[in-house]
């Protein structure tokens, strides 16, 4: 395992455990920020320092144009959703966009029923893809990196998961938009946000949902994490099923550390990021993860537990009826 990643994992410190309903949170804390400074997506867009558009008038489903006008890099977070333009998208991997630059960012569609301009530029939706969906998306991106060195996801699988997600939450969206589900669930999520406030020095979060370890995210900079805290919490909380509320009084740090130790047995692959630094990918039978490294710093490290019911390789390549209906349109719209 890369030394920088290994050191980041071994240096993890925990704040006081928090609990609400079916969710347990272990804040990850550190004394000070590390590595280079950067802006988050929200603050860069708010200050008109970041412009995200379709790559052309016709657009392309898996790729967006990103222009950073700021004097420092901007972090686009894996799973962070963008709304507007021809259809809503989420980032396929974390990208540190260089200052004063334009890059093509790899994305997945999260609104399969719309392919028309709603606005010329994207705004942030305010949401991050749910942990369950993001883990499956990340797994498919890692597979495509191995097979073809590209950061594309299994778009049909993403559409299927959003469709399943919508049905489970009892939400109908005219355009099949993931954002519509999050909007509907916002009152429930807001209750969780009140139960899990950002604590001093927090730069990450380790989460247990529905009695099972979900995973964790951590950033290099405390001030950046503070701005993204609610997105992180919400992305885990939206998977919470309060009918499965655990009766355990607490979870131990040993259980948490046992999961982190499993990461050392993951297969590690290294790829050049589309922005600054390198994209490290980790996978085992039980863990899927990634780490964006730049200037010997883990800018964003994210590790998720795979679901026991995760699809087999054969199942991952079988396209369901829903995906089949959308597949021809995806091929048409991607160029």
Per-residue burial over 260-271, b = 16 or more CB atoms within 10 Å of its CB, e = otherwise: bebbeebeeeeb
CA distance 269 to 147: 12
pLDDT, tens digit, for every residue of 179-236?
999 999 999 999 999 999 999 999 999 999 998 999 999 999 999 999 999 999 999 9
Q: Which domain holds residue 186?
A: 3-315
pLDDT, tens digit, for every residue of 29-68?
999 999 999 999 999 999 999 999 999 999 999 999 999 9
Is 333 within the bounds of a domain? no
Is 321 within the bounds of a domain? no
Specify whether the CB–CB gap between 297 and 36 falls below 8 A.
yes
- How many distinct structural domains can be found in the chain? 1
**Entry pTM:** 0.90
Indicate if the pLDDT at residue 318 is higher than 60.
Answer: no
The encoded tokens of residue 308 equal 């026991």
């Amino acid at each position: 395992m890369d030394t920088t990643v290994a050191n980041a994992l071994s240096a993890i410190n925990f704040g006081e455990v928090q609990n609400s309903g079916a969710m347990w949170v272990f804040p990850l804390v550190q004394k000070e920020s590390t590595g280079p400074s950067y802006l988050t997506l929200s603050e860069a867009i708010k200050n008109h320092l970041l412009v995200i558009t379709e790559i052309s008038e016709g657009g392309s489903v898996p790729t967006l144009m990103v222009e950073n006008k700021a004097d420092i890099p901007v972090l686009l977070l894996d799973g962070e959703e963008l709304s507007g333009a021809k259809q809503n998208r989420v980032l396929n991997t974390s990208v540190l966009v260089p200052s004063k630059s334009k890059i093509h960012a790899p994305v997945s569609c999260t609104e399969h029923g719309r392919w028309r301009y709603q606005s010329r530029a994207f705004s942030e939706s305010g949401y991050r893809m749910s942990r369950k969906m993001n883990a499956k998306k990340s797994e498919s991106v890692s597979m495509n990196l191995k097979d073809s060195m590209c950061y594309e996801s299994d778009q049909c699988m993403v559409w299927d998961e959003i469709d399943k997600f919508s049905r489970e939450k009892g939400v109908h969206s005219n355009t099949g938009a993931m954002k519509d589900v999050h909007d509907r669930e916002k009152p429930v999520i807001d209750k969780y946000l009140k139960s899990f406030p950002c604590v001093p020095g927090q730069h990450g979060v380790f989460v247990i949902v529905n009695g099972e370890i979900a995973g964790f995210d951590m950033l290099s900079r405390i001030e950046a994490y503070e701005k993204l805290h609610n997105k992180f919490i919400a992305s885990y909380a939206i998977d919470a099923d309060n009918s499965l509320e655990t009766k355990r009084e607490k979870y131990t740090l040993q259980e948490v550390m046992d999961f982190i130790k499993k990461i050392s047995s993951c297969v590690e692959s290294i790829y050049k990021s589309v922005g600054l630094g390198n994209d490290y990918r980790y996978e085992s039978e039980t863990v899927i993860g990634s780490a964006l490294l730049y200037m010997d710093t883990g800018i964003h490290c994210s590790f998720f537990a795979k679901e026991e019911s995760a699809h087999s390789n054969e199942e991952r390549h079988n396209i369901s009826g829903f995906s089949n209906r959308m597949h021809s349109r995806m091929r048409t719209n991607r160029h």
